[in-house]
Amino acid sequence: MSPLSKPSVLFVCVHNAGRSQMAAAFLTNLSAGQIEVRSAGSQPADTVNPAAVAAMHEVGIDMAGETPKMLTTEAVKESDVVITMGCGDTCPIFPGKRYEDWVLEDPAGQGIEAVRPIRDEIRSRIEALISDLLPATA
């Protein structure tokens, strides 16, 4: 990552329908465009999890227009940070990338009450990631 380029982050989970979508939405919203954001899944679902959409709507973030995307080698190559969320070994590894695995409960098939704590955990991790990637300038 050059000092003039925006850092880029890729969130990966199996279906790209819940955790990775919420993480991408939070990072896009909270970084105010200062970080390039991607999300993908190794086996993308047909639609984003409605409980995840509803949980994000509660905090003022609209994910209704998002669609799950297929994980590609190019997406990994183009990202500085790759954050996996339970996709195991399906994520390609490239030297020079920063990899993190966030262990988060899968919101698939759960109601909004179960999705809220997952959403809140993702938000706190995103806030820490932003402070790490965008150090405060004096």
> To which residue do tokens 């790759």 refer?
82
Indicate which residues carry an active-site annotation: 13, 87, 91
- CA separation for the pair 87, 76 (Å, rounded): 14
Q: What tokens were used for 11?
A: 């969130």
Contact 70, 40 (CB under 8 A): yes
Q: What are phi and psi of 36, to 5 degrees?
A: -80, 130
